[in-house]
Amino acid sequence: MKTGEIIAMTEKYVMNTYSRIPIAPVKGVGVRLTDAAGNEYLDFVAGIAVNSTGHCHPKVVEAICRQAADLLHVSNLYHVPAQAELAQVLAENSGFDKVFFCNSGAEANEAAIKLARRYFCVTSRTDANEIITALGSFHGRTIGALTATGQAKYQEGFEPLVPGFTYVPFNDFEALEAVVTGKTCAIMLELIQGEGGVYPVDPEYLAGVSRLCKEFGLLLIIDEVQTGIGRTGTLFAFQQYAGFKPDIVTLAKGLASGVPIGAVLATEEVCKGFGPGRHASTFGGNPLACTAALATLDVILNDGVLDNVKEMGAYFVQKLRELEASTSAIAEIRGCGLMIGVELKEPNGTAVVSACRDKGLLINCVGDKVLRFVPPLIIEKADVDAAVQILGNVLSKMH
């Protein structure tokens, strides 16, 4: 099929919920994508932080093929070897005790919200069920996760939302402290707001939140759907803050290199909230997704990927700073590891994204002026050089 035919068919038959870029990638290798028209792109979007090991990493592909030939699905009525093994790897590398598996970031956050409420229910503080989240946050599109998302633009027209959520400005400790009541059960935060514009949490604020949670017996839920699985240079972003440990962490995007999966990590204590029948997912923890996740984690933990993220992240930021100095287009560079936001002075992000794509670089824009870079974690210096050169050309032409 030609690109035009694919676009026409999508527009005719697929519900109109995405404003799509008019290309149709059909093949991927590492950081490179080829579209239906034969054009090649350097992919610094990576499925929005999903293709952590790059496109079609041979170890991941091999594991998926092997598992697909053996068994795709059995149901959680039975024990699933790859699920047990994946839970062990995640627990041992995070310091958490147990894992619940689902299929997406929104589902992981739904499960975290349910777990937090149930925990208070079974530990007899039955009146505490309210959750505080941050303005500018993003936690997903299902109705609970959407309610947790502190951005009106995503919620408009979907009312009534779920009762029991309160929003506070991100990184403002006094505002947070002021809304904690006897009905609060949890605080839910991202460590770098991704969809909100790549805003990192202030370490002092985070320490304050952690203290507040201990003082009032609140659960701290950290949404690592985007920041997790090596994105920031440690397996989990929460590991970058000395002595910091949340009660619940949610994962998805990069966990299985592109096979749908979500996960909730929790402490033994918090797991008291769930017993048989309290939560479930038909596909959650299925053999295929768990095998893909095991292969992904094997690559990330054993092939030097975390060191690469630190090194390439620092190199990328250094190159972007040179660009900041040589063009007058950049207002701020933010982020950690390979989750980088470049805030432009002008609200022309969409035009920059299009111009970069025409020159063979895929990037993404959050809002109208923050360029977001979340490339595969296996990128090399030459990829960064090529990307920054294209971006530099585009920015100097537009300003």
Ligand X SMILES: *Cc1c(COP(=O)(O)O)cnc(C)c1O
Report the residue number, 191 or 394, with the smaller CB distance to ligand X.
Answer: 191
Binding status of residue 234 toward ligand X by CB under 6 A: no
**From the CB of 265, what's the least distance to ligand X, in Å?**
15
How many chain residues touch ligand X (CB under 6 A)? 15
**From the CB of 136, what's the least distance to ligand X, in Å?**
11
| Range in contact with ligand X (rule: CB under 6 A) among 2-10, 136-144, 180-188, 361-369 | 136-144
Binding status of residue 288 toward ligand X by CB under 6 A: no
| Range in contact with ligand X (rule: CB under 6 A) among 125-133, 137-145, 234-242, 387-395 | 137-145
Binding status of residue 104 toward ligand X by CB under 6 A: yes
| Range in contact with ligand X (rule: CB under 6 A) among 16-24, 63-71, 220-228, 381-389 | 220-228
Q: Site for ligand X (CB under 6 A): which residue of 43, 110, 130, 223?
A: 223
Q: Site for ligand X (CB under 6 A): which residue of 252, 293, 300, 305?
A: 252
Binding status of residue 106 toward ligand X by CB under 6 A: yes
**From the CB of 317, what's the least distance to ligand X, in Å?**
21
**From the CB of 304, what's the least distance to ligand X, in Å?**
25
Q: Which H, E and C letters describe the chain, residue by residue? A: CCHHHHHHHHHHHCCCCCCCCCCCEEEEEECEEEECCCCEEEECCHHHHCCCCCECCHHHHHHHHHHHHHCCCCCCCCCCHHHHHHHHHHHHHHCCCEEEEECCHHHHHHHHHHHHHHHHHHCCCCCCCEEEEEECCCCCCCHHHHHHCECHHHHCCCCCCCCCEEEECCCCHHHHHHHCCCCEEEEEECCEECCCCCEECCHHHHHHHHHHHHHHCCEEEEECCCCCCCCCCCCCHHHHCCCCCCCEEEECHHHHECECCEEEEECCCHHHHCCCCCCCCCCCCCHHHHHHHHHHHHHHHHCCHHHHHHHHHHHHHHHHHHHHHHCCCEEEEEEECCEEEEEECCCCHHHHHHHHHHCCEECEEECCCEEEECCCCCCCHHHHHHHHHHHHHHHHHHC
Q: Which residues bind ligand X (CB under 6 A)?
A: 104-106, 109, 138-140, 190, 194-195, 223, 225-226, 252-253
